[in-house]
Structure 1
Amino acid sequence: MSREFSVDVVDFASALPDLRAVREVVFVQEQRVPVEIERDALDPACVHVLARDGEGRAVGTGRLAPGGKVGRMAVLAGWRGRGVGRSMLLRLLDEARARGLAEVVLSAQVDAERFYAAEGFLPYGERFEEAGIQHQAMRRVLGSPAAVENAAQAAAAVVGIATHARRLLTIYTREMDAGLLDHPAVLAALRGFATRGGEVRVLLQDVETPQRAHAPLISLMQRLPSSFSARVIEEPVDRTYPSAFVAGDTGGWYFRPLGHRVDGETQLDGAARVRQLKTVFDAAWERARPATELRALGI
C-alpha cells in the first residue's frame, strides 16, 4: 500500500459518495453509530476535507461547521497512524483561520483526547456519552492565548508543547509539579520528544520534595540521561520568582503566574512570548547549580 496521501477541501455534493464511503465504514460499521445519527442536516453547510491515497481512493474525512465545530473525523483502519488525521485537522484549522474564527471546538472520543491535545485543544466540561461512546468536549483558541483553569487542561497544554517542540524544551518548576509533570500523557509526550532527539532542561527551586516523592519524571530522566538535564536554583533573586512555565522552541508555551497553581495561559504559536520566557530561563539556568543529588540516578 502506498504511503502517499493528499488532503483537499471538497464540494460536499460531488464528494458525497466518497465521504459516506469512509464515514459509514468507520462510524456505522466499526463503531455501531446508527446511520440516522451519522447523517445529519448540517452536512451541506459544512466545509469538508477528504483524504485520498495515491490512487485517488478516499481514506479519511473531516468537516468544519459554520459555528466552528470540527466533526466527522474518520480514517480508514489501514491508514491510521500515518498522519492522515493530523493533516486533515490542520487543514480544517487553516480553514477556520481563513474564515476569521476565534476558536474551534469539537467532541473528542475519549481515546482520541491526546491526539487533539497534541494540536492545542484543551478539554472543558464533563465527559458525556454520544451515540453510545464516551466523549470529551475540547477547544482550540486561534491566534491568542487560551486560559488554563484545571489540571486536565494543564496536562493537555504540556502535551501540545512537547509534541510540537523540535530541539529544546525548557521547564521552570518549583518541585516537579506533582499532578502535572507526572501525568501519564505528559510523561509520554516528554518521552516521545526525548527519543526524537530533543533536549529537556528542568530548572527546580526545590529538588528534595520530588526526590522524597520518587517523582516519575526523575525515573524518566534516569532512563534517558543524554536527553535530560536538571539544575537547582539557589540565588535569592531567583528563589523569589513566583511563577512557573513550560516553553518549546517552536512557539509553544504554558505560563502560570503562581508556580504552585495550575491556572495560567497557553499558546502553541506564540513565538514572541517564548523569547521572553527563554530570557528568564536562560539567566536563571546560568546562575543555578547542577542537580548533583540526582546524579546517583544517572542524570
Structure 2
Amino acid sequence: MVAVDHDAARPQLRAVREAVFIREQGVPAGIEIDDLDPRCRHVLARDRHGRPIGTARLAPDGRIGRMAVLPEWRGHGVGSALLHALLRIARGQGLSRVNLHAQAGAIDFYRRHGFVPVGPPFMEAGIEHQAMAQRLDRPVEVHDRAGAVAATVAVVAAARRRLWIHSRALDPGLYDHRRVLAALRRFATGGHGPQVRVLLHDALAAQRAHAPLIALGQRLPSVFAFREVEDPVDRDCPSALVANDAGGYFLRPLGHRFDGETEHHARARARQLSAGIDEVWERARSCSELRALSL
C-alpha cells in the first residue's frame, strides 16, 4: 500500500477506477474523472506482481473518495488497508475531520472503521449513498443502540491480538447483537493467538440470560477468559468498555446505557483504559461456572 503521485500513477489509478466505476457500476466517465484529481492525495494497492488492484483518494478538504477495489480482491483486506492509509495521511496533514459518501452496500464497512452516518441517504450518480464522517481530533460521540453496535464492531474488527471487555452482565441489546457476535467470532477464529478478557459485574445474571457470548466462549476457551469483580470499590465502578490493542476503544460512562464515546486511533487512551481493566482483573475471581458445557 503506497501513496503515489497522481501524474506519475495516473494510468494505474485510472485502470482500477474505470474497471470498477465505469464498466462495473455504469458511472458516466464525465462524472468519475474530475478536475479535483490532481489536487488530491492518492493511495494505490498492488498485487505481488506490481499490478494495480485498488485505489482511493483524499481531497484537501478531508473528503475521502474514489475508493475502488477490483472484484477478485474484495474481502481480502485491501479496502481496509486503503482506508487506513488515507486516515494516516489525514492525521499527518493535521485534519480534524474526514468525510465521505458511502455507497449503500458499503455503509457497514465504514461503520467498522469508525465512521458515523450524517443526514439521510441520497442518490449520487444513480446510486444510493450515505454521507458519513469521522473526527480525528477528539472522540466520536455515540448516542444510541445502533451507534453502540457500530462502535463495538469497529473496535473488535480493528483488534490485532487482544480485546478487553468490561460489562455488568454482557449488556442485552449489545453483546447479543448478531453483528457484534459475528465480529467477535471472526476475531477469535482469525489466528495469531487472539485473547479476549471479559470482566463482569454480575456473571450470574449473564448466565441466567443465556448470553450468547458465554456460549461462544465455551466453544473457544483458549481465546475467551471470564472473571467477575469482587472488590467493593471495583463493583461500584459504573462504566463499561471495549478496547483493543490497536488504539481503539468504546467507553460508556454509565454501563447500563448505550451512549458514550469512541476513538480508533488513540493508543495512549486505549492503553490507559485496558491497563485499568488488567488491574481489576488481577483482583477478580475466575468464573469457572461459565466454562460448563451446559448452562
TM-score by length of 1: 0.85
Q: Which runs of 4+ in 1 moved over 4 A?
A: none
Q: Is the 8 A contact 1:105 1:137 kept in 2?
A: yes
**Cross-structure match for 2:141:** 147
Q: Secondary structure, in 3 states, of the residue corresponding to 2:292?
A: helix
**Cross-structure match for 2:6:** 11
Please list every run of 5 or more consecutive structure 2 residues that lacks an aligned counterpart in the other structure.
Answer: none
Aligned partners of 2:221 and 2:116: how far apart in 1?
31
Q: Please tell me the residue identity of whatever aligns with 1:93.
A: L
Aligned partners of 1:156 and 1:150: how far apart in 2?
10
Q: Please tell me the residue identity of whatever aligns with 1:7.
A: V
**Cross-structure match for 2:113:** 119
Shift, 1:54, TM fit: 4.4
**Cross-structure match for 1:3:** none
Relative distance call for 1:129 and 1:291 in structure 2 (3 A) is farther
Q: Please tell me the residue identity of whatever aligns with 2:85.
A: R
**Cross-structure match for 2:184:** 190
**Cross-structure match for 1:272:** 268
Shift, 1:55, TM fit: 4.4
Shift, 1:81, TM fit: 3.1
Relative distance call for 1:223 and 1:10 in structure 2 (3 A) is same
Out of 16, 39, 46, which is 1:22 matched to?
Answer: 16
**Cross-structure match for 2:156:** 162
Out of 171, 176, 201, which is 1:177 matched to?
Answer: 171
Aligned partners of 2:48 and 2:180: how far apart in 1?
35
Relative distance call for 1:280 and 1:51 in structure 2 (3 A) is closer
Out of 209, 212, 219, which is 1:213 matched to?
Answer: 209
Q: Is the 8 A contact 1:7 1:87 kept in 2?
A: no
The number of residues matched between the two structures is: 293
Out of 47, 51, 72, which is 2:45 matched to?
Answer: 51
What value does the CA root-mean-square deviation take over the aligned residues?
2.6
Q: Is the 8 A contact 2:3 2:41 kept in 1?
A: no
Relative distance call for 1:230 and 1:85 in structure 2 (3 A) is same
1:280-295 residue pairs with structure 2 within 5 A? Answer: 280-295=276-291
Aligned partners of 1:135 and 1:293: how far apart in 2?
47
Shift, 1:114, TM fit: 3.8
Aligned partners of 1:167 and 1:139: how far apart in 2?
27
Aligned partners of 1:198 and 1:125: how far apart in 2?
37
TM-score by length of 2: 0.86
Q: Please tell me the residue identity of whatever aligns with 1:295.
A: R
Aligned partners of 2:10 and 2:278: how far apart in 1?
54
Out of 255, 261, 277, which is 2:251 matched to?
Answer: 255
**Cross-structure match for 1:237:** 233
**Cross-structure match for 1:296:** 292
Moved more, 197-206 or 183-192: 183-192
Aligned partners of 1:102 and 1:46: how far apart in 2?
17
Q: Secondary structure, in 3 states, of the residue corresponding to 2:269?
A: helix
Q: String of CA shifts for 1:245-272, please: whole Å, max 9, x gaps.
A: 1122232221111111122112223233
Relative distance call for 1:180 and 1:116 in structure 2 (3 A) is same
Confirm whether residue 85 of structure 1 aligns to residue 79 of structure 2: yes
Aligned partners of 1:47 and 1:219: how far apart in 2?
46
Shift, 1:8, TM fit: 3.0
Shift, 1:291, TM fit: 2.4
Of all paired residues, the percent bearing the same amino acid is: 57
Please list every run of 5 or more consecutive structure 1 residues that lacks an aligned counterpart in the other structure.
Answer: 1-5
Q: Is the 8 A contact 1:182 1:217 kept in 2?
A: yes
**Cross-structure match for 1:98:** 92
Relative distance call for 1:210 and 1:110 in structure 2 (3 A) is farther
